[in-house]
Structure 1
Amino acid sequence: MQNGQAGYPKLPADHPFRKHSQNLSTLVSGLRQAERIHKQMIRQGDAPGIAFSRRMHSLMVGMIAEARLRKITHDPNGFNERERTLVAGSKSQIDRWKSAVDFAFRRQYAVPMHLEIQDSGVDPAVISRHGIIIEMLDGDLRPIIEGRNKTAHGQWVWELNNSETSFKGRAAEPMNYLAISRRGEVIDNLAEIVHILIVSEPAFQREFDRLYGKISSLRCTIDGNDYPQFEANIRSSGRPRIHPEMKDEGC
């Protein structure tokens, strides 16, 4: 389910899945540039440069999440055109992700539209996984998406309400390099879970625990509280090094 398309050799060059895949691949390349510049600003101790790079770095992760969903929903082995249209019709990006998950569970476990998934009588393990994915979308993806929107709309110091008629308060400080990077990794794994769910129920059953385990490990340090040591390592060595205390040893 990665960016390559080795499993789709017969798709025409102008197939939407290929085009969305190319968009995603280009954005991922852009993310690598944003990461490189962000580290350079840290290395130089350039406070304004760091603040700007944090916003651009986070913006790239949010744009990648949006592009990844488009690719996922256009996989020819997954949704039909009606399902894609319904997902695209959701009001917000986070609602589109949730709709994709909802339709995927209904598709794979034959849950009719008039029933809630938790009331459909499917296996409790399936219901639990549905709840876990929705919780991850709200907890891990939503902050990146909402932060991207505020950054793209110029709300860097003061936040506006949804109708943009008044100010809600001061904008949150942008996340640091590690918090952004780890959320990006969580979103990558979460997107892979959703993609697999859409195209193959047996693969979903097989891969869910592995991918969820990776997400759980990342969540231990997702807020980037170990950033000061990371920053010190970059400035002292000229390149980022992972401090022993930053290695994944579980929560």
Structure 2
Amino acid sequence: MRVISDITEMTSFSRKIIAAGKTIGFVPTMGYLHAGHLSLVERAKKECDIIILSIFVNPAQFGPKEDLAAYPRDLMRDLKLLKPLKVDIVFNPQAKEMYPSGCKTFVNIDGDLTQKLCGAFRPIHFKGVLTVVAKLLNIVLPHKAYFGEKDAQQCVVIKKMCKDLKFPVKIITLPTIREKDGLAMSSRNTYLTTEERKSAPMIYKTLLMAEKMIDDGELRGKKVITAMKKKLKSMKNAEIQYISIVNSDTLEDRANISGEIIIALALKLGKTRLIDNIVMSV
């Protein structure tokens, strides 16, 4: 396993791999890896010849009062986790190279796709996400890139960007990996206090309740959302940001539930912002 920090060196390596007729699978991360990230690597290994994983805490996707400084970082820990998986390259660029002095170009998608759900509470977030993913795709030149469905809105907007800008890459999204009690794995779970961690599984239980209501024939979105709010209010120190039922491709709200949908929610548990979702077909 080789660690590359230089952008030019990374692109040069990828071009040689492509010239040799091999395929590149890419897993972009912000580090502090968990089993969810590792599942993306395992899938990539089944489908591609060379695996590149990036570790870069992207400053452009954090708002001024968010957790950029506090976000967990431990490169040595991450490399130990990756070694048994035989990742070929860990790309670990520096912010000053990704965003050099005078950098004024950013990527965004106009409209609701980036402005609703998480975008309503994190107004610059998806502009930062799309910009860094565009940069990483241009640097790494992968054939396939792998993302987790816990960040469902992120998956939708990245697919849209790649389609609109004609990136020659296939975006693969994989199911959320969970703790034994159902909590979606996230690097931010480390922020939770002991008491908050005990109550956090209620998020997934609420999503499962909503899924069952729909499976049992309740197709009125407002009714399902009301029941979810009631259940989540039993959580101590939780502040609901949104609960939405949306089309899985367009993120349009589904007042009358039909087709493939995402049941999505975000809340703050103490100081920690948690998101989760379930994708289902009706």
TM-score, normalised on structure 2?
Answer: 0.22
Pick the structure with more helix per residue. Answer: 1
Q: TM-score, normalised by structure 1?
A: 0.24
